[in-house]
Copies of this chain bind each other. A is one copy, B any other.
């Protein structure tokens, strides 16, 4: 019987506990191949590496499944995995499990989700998984059955052209998980705080930090789901066109 080929990547780097757990879950569903960044790539958005070369290093020792680290971004990992490791499209790409939420507008900054979006751009069914816990000891096991079920569903049914899934998981014990809820991306943004410091040479520098603010509490949003201990699943697409503004914009006087 044909076993599906599953490509696994992430943005926290190949040694992160999140991807180690995802590997252990996916190995029960198919033939896995791991191509993940050789260092943390959080917040890299949909960045690609075009001004420097990429390194790809085989790191698996036991031969159970092939595992490579890549010097690039999560998007680079997907591209090089398909073209230079698999030499074909996998049946599924899973990215994560990210350490920290990628709900709401965080989808746009997220390297984890960018890998999944890149997969969708290549017409490969793709899912990004994130757990709302940044700690090294985060409990990635609580949602195991849901993660496997979501991946199994996508393997069985595929996803529409140009669509991937953004799955976020609340950091609670298994018994408190209320199940999966299909959602839309909540409106929210980051209120930046720049921590202004001075280096030993007397030159200023800044750390970018900030606080995430949710601007709505509608029950159909991912943020509401997560606050209420549901696993949120948002179908994600990459047509950025604001279609509903086109008619009005056509009335503007641009041609002089």
Q: List residues of chain A with CB under 8 Å of any chain B CB.
A: 40, 42-51, 53-56, 72, 75-76, 79-80, 82-84, 105, 107-109, 114, 117, 121-122, 145-146, 149-150, 153, 157, 159-160, 162-163, 166, 179-180, 182, 184-185, 187, 189, 192-194, 196-197, 203-209, 233-243, 245-246, 249-250, 252-256
Contacts and interface: CB of A to CB of B under 8 A. Distances in A.
Contacts of A255: 146, 149, 179-180
A53 to B, nearest CB: 4
Contacts of A246: 182, 184, 235
A184 B241 contact: yes
Contact of A207 (B54, B242, B250, B253): B54
B84 A242 contact: no
B47 A44 contact: yes
B196 A84 contact: yes
A253 B145 CA distance: 13
Given A50-B43, A179-B255, A254-B150, A235 B249 contact: yes
**A interface, over-half SS:** mixed
Contacts of A245: 159-160, 163, 235, 237
Given A108-B240, A184-B241, A237-B242, A254 B207 contact: no
A76 B109 CA distance: 12
6 contacts: A45-B46, A46-B109, A83-B192, A117-B240, A149-B255, A234-B241
Contact of A237 (B179, B241, B250): B241
B46 A108 contact: yes
A83 B256 contact: no
A202 B160 CA distance: 43
Contacts of A47: 43-45, 47, 109
A255 B177 CA distance: 11
A242 B252 contact: no
